[in-house]
Amino acid sequence: MAKLNSFFVRFRPFAIALAYAASVAGFLWICSLFYLPGKGFTYLIEFGDRDHRSYLPELQAVNHYELPDSSGYDAQHYAQIAMHPSLGDPVLRRAVDNLPYRARRILFCLTAYTLAGGKAVRALHIYALQNIACWLLLAALLLRWFPPNLWQNWVRWAGVLFSFGLCISVRGSLVDGPSLLFIAAGMALAESGRPWLSAAVLGVAGLGRETNILAGVALAPAEGSRRGWALALGRGALVALPLIAWLGILWCWLGDAGGAGARNFAVPGVGYARKWVDIWRLAATGPGSMAWGSLFVQTALTAQALFFLLRPRWSNPWWRVGAAYAVLMALFGDAVWEGYPGAASRVLLPMTLAFNILVPRGRAWWIALLLGNLSVLVSPDALPLPGRESCIVEGPRSLRIIADTGRTVEAVFDERWYPPEKSWLEYWRWNRGEATVSFRNPHSFAVTADISFGLRAADNRGAEIWEGGRSLWRGALERGTLHPVTVRGVRLEPGETLWRFATDRPSYVPGNGDTRQLGYSVRDLKVDLTGPAP
């Protein structure tokens, strides 16, 4: 038994380090699943197809993902500012809802635009990836407070990085995750004895989200000396200055600096109480996942706020930050609390970080620590994966899309195809032995295209592709071998052009738990539009 205990003691540092590494690897693997061929990571920005007509011409010209039957979410506005940061341009005002309000949070639009070298399309893709990059940088920075030497440190580290608020920021390319990185960096500088540089970083963070300047309370003096307060006031001015100056610039450029946001604030405690009532009503209709998810997130935020309320530690900078956000939580209005589970968890991320740093080590505090990190249980709901792509359409924008309606050239698979699948290198769909693909041309004129793809089967069989009574391709598929096919000069008439995929052998069941009736797969289908048909 003594030898066994000794083994576990020696193995523990390796196991803890492995848990950290596995957490990062798991995050990157999940992020990789959001990549869509031909569209990159634009699924993360949540463009809505209902607003397609109002989008920037630069955005309409590039292949990107739009949520069907949706008005999209906040990041679609910030991404367009990143693509086209000329705030006085009427085109941008039409594309961005409430431009003065959105433009206040200019920081991460400018970082994407700058890193892209002023290239609109590149800025779009960089903006989509910023949250992922900031998550990785934050994961490294948090090792300052949560080094990989205790299991409890891993729980705290993972509790921040996999909190619902941070995951929803990654999923929606929102400003909250990158803001937390800036706040953590500013706090690290303050702890390192560089308060003025800390104030400068926190001031810049205010250009990412206005509430970020609350973290400046960390620079208040621990004791009430005159000199301490004088220095604190100077540093506080430095924290507030970038935001105040930027609001003045917006007023000059746009005639408006944006309001506080409709229904963002309310009488203290009213919005919070209403959220609990909503959770109770939701639970009364049936204890489903939405009820449990809202309950877990609300319980976690409540536990964090109570920790700062019941254990005042003014001398600790992290306590001052957590307490400031706990006060902000009490002031939130319905707009921040409503929905599933609401925006509060991401706006209060600094409180979540401060909580995990300050909860004392030891067994007596495990329950408090776990209660404050309950939102991790809901985080999978924040990361719904996109539907897989079945086809990439390339070519001039005027051929790919009708700008006025948003209708595009597309390939539609019938019900005899199984759902799309993908890996890092390719995407594909299996058929049931015989199936059809309809190429839809929304234009009033015919277009020509080169259509390419690969065919692969898990056995030896013949395959044919027909358009009407005309054979387009015929060949023998060898087991496991990819057979590339390119059909050039295809004429796509207005409406539908139907292709039939056939085979000379019946479908089969692969076994090993897979009960599908498989024929062969079509891989990396691409339609390259070459021009109007003569």
List 410's β-bridge partners, or say none: 440
Model confidence band, residue 31 (pLDDT cutoffs 50, 70, 90): very high
Instruction: Give pLDDT, residue 52.
Output: 87
**pLDDT(1) > 60:** no
Model confidence band, residue 189 (pLDDT cutoffs 50, 70, 90): very high
pLDDT tens for residues 296-306? Answer: 999 999 999 99
- Across the chain, what does the average pLDDT equal? 91
Among residues 165, 168, 85, 181, which one has the least CA distance to residue 133?
181
Q: For the chain, first and last CA: distance in Å?
A: 84
All domains of the chain in start order, with CATH? 2-382 (no CATH), 392-532 (2.60.120)
**pLDDT(224) > 80:** no
Instruction: Give pLDDT, residue 262.
Output: 61
Instruction: Give pLDDT, residue 169.
Output: 96
Instruction: Give pLDDT, residue 261.
Output: 63
Instruction: Give pLDDT, residue 258.
Output: 67
Tokens found for residue 230: 């004088």
Instruction: Give pLDDT, residue 72.
Output: 87
**pLDDT(2) > 60:** no
For residue 464, with 0-12 CB atoms within 10 Å meaning exposed, 13-18 middle and 19 or more buried, which class applies? middle
What is the SS3 assignment for 393? strand
**pLDDT(160) > 60:** yes
Number of H helices, E strands in the chain: 21, 13
- Predicted TM-score of the model (pTM): 0.80
Instruction: Give pLDDT, residue 420.
Output: 84
Torsion of CA 305, 307, 310, 311, to 10 degrees: -130
Instruction: Give pLDDT, residue 222.
Output: 80
Q: Are 388 and 521 in contact (CB under 8 A)?
A: no
Model confidence band, residue 424 (pLDDT cutoffs 50, 70, 90): low
Measured in whole angstroms, how far is the alpha carbon of residue 27 from the centre of its chain?
A: 12
pLDDT tens for residues 438-476? Answer: 999 999 999 999 999 999 998 899 999 999 989 999 999
Tokens found for residue 392: 């990439």
Model confidence band, residue 512 (pLDDT cutoffs 50, 70, 90): low
